[in-house]
Amino acid sequence: MRASAISLRFLVVALMLMLGSSRPGFAQPPAKVLTAEQKEKLKERDAFWKQSLQFSSEGKLPEAIAAADRALAIERVVHGPEHREVVVTLKHRGNLHERAEDFAAAEKDRREVLRLQTKQFGAKAWQVTDARLNLQHVETLARLDAKARQELKEADQWMSKAIASNKLGKYPEGAEYAKKALAIRLSVLGEENRASALSANWTGSLWQNANQFKKKPSVL
């Protein structure tokens, strides 16, 4: 179970990296030697992470959040409240709260990540910029009406199709999906938002892969 859970956690970190919300390179102190009891606790943490990811994939957001809560509680006890793994779990839980449209809870997690990253890396570090952009995105979502948020969910669906098409090597098809997502995100969020930039990047990359450079979006 531990190996499977860890691999799933690495997948989440990789997805966060693609979204610009997490990258390797944390400057952490040397790892402390864990006791047998602490190692057992981390096995429990891994199980809760696995549950959270499974519930998330099934759309069971309250259950996913509850499991993330328990994983986070263990990490704070074993590693301390400012460890890099605490930051990763806070990001994950913030994403879940955002999907559940509990923007107050999502904002709280984003602010804590921003505080921890600022303390760890300094105000000018890219990790802090990432955290600040994620917080700004949640604040933007909280100001939108239900119609606009529904449009963004449609954009998310188009992006999921674009990414799936990319994996299958169907680049022109994927580019069209990404272009649809880009149009919605530009309309709702504007050019400066990270989600819009992500869609623009995917659209351009997919057209490049398909050797159709002329159809790259001008926003790039």
Residues 68, 80, single domain; the answer is yes
Tokens 């499991």 belong to 67
Q: Is residue 27 part of a domain?
A: yes
What is the reported pTM? 0.77
**Do residue 137 and residue 159 come from a single domain?**
no
- Report phi then psi at 46, rounded to 5: -60, -40
The position carrying tokens 């990270």 is 194
Out of 89, 112, 143, pick the residue that ends a domain: 143
pLDDT digits (tens, 9 = 90+) for 70-95: 999 999 999 999 999 999 999 999 99
At 186, the pLDDT band (50, 70, 90 cuts) reads very high
Is residue 220 one of the residues assigned to a domain?
no
Question: CA 47 → CA 64, 67, 116, 141, 200, distances in Å?
Answer: 12, 9, 25, 31, 36
Q: Same domain for 101 and 72? A: yes
Give the residue numbers spanning the domain of 210: 146-215
Write out the E strands in 109-184: none
Please indicate, yes or no, if residue 13 is contained in any of the structural domains.
Answer: yes
| Domain annotation covers residue 136 | yes
Is there a single domain that holds both residue 151 and residue 202? yes
User: Which CATH number do you get for residue 162?
Assistant: 1.20.58
Same domain, 113 and 165: no
Clarify whether residues 139 and 160 are in a common domain: no
Among 90, 110, 143, where does a domain finish?
A: 143
Q: Is the pLDDT score of 17 beyond 50?
A: no
Q: What is the domain count for the chain?
A: 2
